[in-house]
Amino acid sequence: LCGLVLKIWRFLYNAWNLGVAEPKKVIHGVKVGLSLLLVSFFYYMRPLYEGVGGNAMWAVMTVVVVFESTVGATLCKCINRATGTFLAGSLALGVQWIANKSGETFEPIIIGISVFLLASATTFSRFIPSVKTRFDYGAVIFILTFSLVTVSGYRVDRLFELAYQRLSTVAIGTSLCIFITMVFCPIWAGSGLHDLIVCNLEKLADSLDGCVGECFKDDKAKLGNEEGPSKRMQGYKCVLNSKATEEVMANFARWEPGHGRFNFRHPWKQYLKIGASMRNCAYCIEALNSCINSEIQAPDCLKKHLSDVCMLLSTNFSEVLKELVIIMNTLTKSSKIELLIGEMNFAVQKLQDSLNSVPNSFIGPTVSTIQAPNEANRETIPKTAIPSLMDVFPMASLVYLLIQIAARIEGIADA
């Protein structure tokens, strides 16, 4: 029993923390409660109740099922629900009319077959990708309304009234949802997507910085503050795993009207492209990271030789990324970014040059030792070369990726 109490207490504690961390979620909960309260007025007020009758429960149901945390998701579900109900209702009335005309024995057979066929076909269509992303919920509602109207048509006489009432209560529910979700503290999927991408860009810059810093850090500093930077370095893992979230959000963002700084036809698909490029960068950082954590370490002399150039390059990288963050936030094209990319490319060139000069400074001394070959030295050379060259390669690919991103962002800035 004590364990159970402890468990519940911990659950509540977690919930409280979540609420404090993200007040948006609490607000969403309050909004749902508010709209349910409003909808239940249909029951409390006699004139309203007499207008729609016992079917007022459809309005309650619509509110509960349709209300989602972002405006885009709610709009998407509302439109789906309304369209699905309307289409299925009219189709069901047609089928019912035909069934009625064909006599009492055929009526259940015709209705049964039509329900079976339409339900199977619609359920199958939910697997088609283009339907799935946009009209998944609409298909469910279509099946639901169609089977309810046709099947109850067998027993209920005033079928037309039933369909009409269902449609009108759904309309009341959806319009209330849209009103509440857009007027009181709206949570936009589009803004959420934008913030996510910007935040991921920042994390990427941080972890790239941290990684390269880690690579060329002195051993003294390594023993010191381990916690802080390693947390920052893990930022890229969020980037790796954010694909599904981004896609869902972009899908909902398309349904949203213009809000804040975003127009109606804001190019949300571009955000997915940026996300993909960022994930490519994150793969590179992952590779870089695994080579930092590997056992073989570059000797200090080589590190020193390359550290200046690499640090310069990494500074350039994060400058470019941070400039991209600024561009994203202001949604304008910046001339500074081209300057920074130019600088970055120059730094890459410099790194390549200094790599080319490495063999001279290292093979120079090696020449003497090879003439007196000893085992220890033979092993030093490949090990020396490995980490530094490994650093270069992901970076070189990073540069290309960054340039790609930059080009894409410019496309957005135009839009």
Binders in 48-67 for its own copies, by CB under 8 A: 49, 54, 57, 60-61, 64-65, 67
Tell me which stretch binds its own copies (CB under 8 A): 176-184, 277-285, 315-323, 332-340.
277-285
Question: By CB under 8 A, what part of segment 386-405 binds its own copies?
Answer: 386, 389-390, 392-394, 396-397
- Given the complex with its own copies, which of 49 and 164 has the nearer CB atom? 49
- DSSP, res 226: -
**Partners of 262 in the beta sheet?**
259
Site for its own copies in 230-269 (CB under 8 A): 241, 243-244
Look-up of token digits 């010191």: 224
The yes or no reply on residue 312 touching its own copies (CB under 8 A) is no
13 lies in the binding site for its own copies (CB under 8 A): no
Question: Is there binding between residue 185 and its own copies (CB under 8 A)?
Answer: no
Our finding on whether 373 is near its own copies (CB under 8 A) is yes
Collect all residues with Cβ–Cβ distance below 8 Å to 88 and sequence separation of at least 6: 141, 142, 143, 144, 145, 146, 149
Residue 342 as a binder of its own copies (CB under 8 A): the answer is no
Nearest alpha carbon to residue 108 among 145, 144, 153, 66:
153
Alpha helices in 241-374 (DSSP H): 243-253, 268-292, 300-330, 336-371
Structure tokens at 354: 């200094």
Which has the closest alpha carbon to 316: 344, 346, 338? 344
- CA-based end-to-end distance of the chain: 60
Please state the closest distance from residue 128 (CB atom) to its own copies, in A: 6
Residues in contact with 230: Cβ distance below 8 Å, sequence separation at least 6, in sequence order: 210
Residue 161 interacts with its own copies (CB under 8 A): yes or no: no
Q: Which residues contact 71 (CB under 8 A, 6 or more apart)?
A: 181, 182, 186, 187, 188, 189, 256, 259
d(CA 359, CA 113): 80
Residues written for the chain? 415
Please pick, from the candidates 110, 111, 313, 348, the single residue that binds its own copies as defined by CB under 8 A: 111
Given candidates 366, 403, 410, 411, which one binds its own copies under the rule CB under 8 A? 366
Q: Which is nearer to its own copies, 9 or 116 (CB)?
A: 116
Interface segment toward its own copies; rule CB under 8 A; list 139-147, 174-182, 249-257, 315-323: 139-147
Does position 4 interact with its own copies (CB under 8 A)? The reply is no
> Minimal CA–CA distance to 180: which of 78, 253, 248, 42?
78
Residue 257 C-beta: closest distance to its own copies, Å: 24
Interaction between residue 378 and its own copies (CB under 8 A) = yes
Q: Is 180 in the site for its own copies (CB under 8 A)?
A: no
Query: What is the C-alpha to C-alpha distance for residues 344 and 122, in angstroms, rounded to an integer?
Result: 54
262: three-class secondary structure by DSSP: strand
Q: Is 123 in the site for its own copies (CB under 8 A)?
A: yes
- At 245, list the tokens: 């979230």
Candidate list 136, 195, 202, 286; residue touching its own copies; CB under 8 A: 286
* Number of amino acids touching its own copies (CB under 8 A): 91
In the complex, minimum distance from the CB of residue 156 to its own copies, in angstroms, rounded to a whole number: 8
Cβ 339 to its own copies shortest distance, Å: 25
Site residues (CB under 8 A) for its own copies, limited to 69-108: 69, 108
Q: Is 168 in the site for its own copies (CB under 8 A)?
A: no
Phi, psi of 254, rounded to the nearest 5 degrees: -65, -25
Candidates 94, 228, 260, 359; binder of its own copies (CB under 8 A) is 359
Closer residue to its own copies in complex, CB, 100/315: 100
The piece of 91-99, 141-149, 174-182, 302-310 that touches its own copies (CB under 8 A) is 141-149
**Residue 86 carries which side chain, given as an amino acid letter?**
F
Give the tokens for residue 356.
């080319």
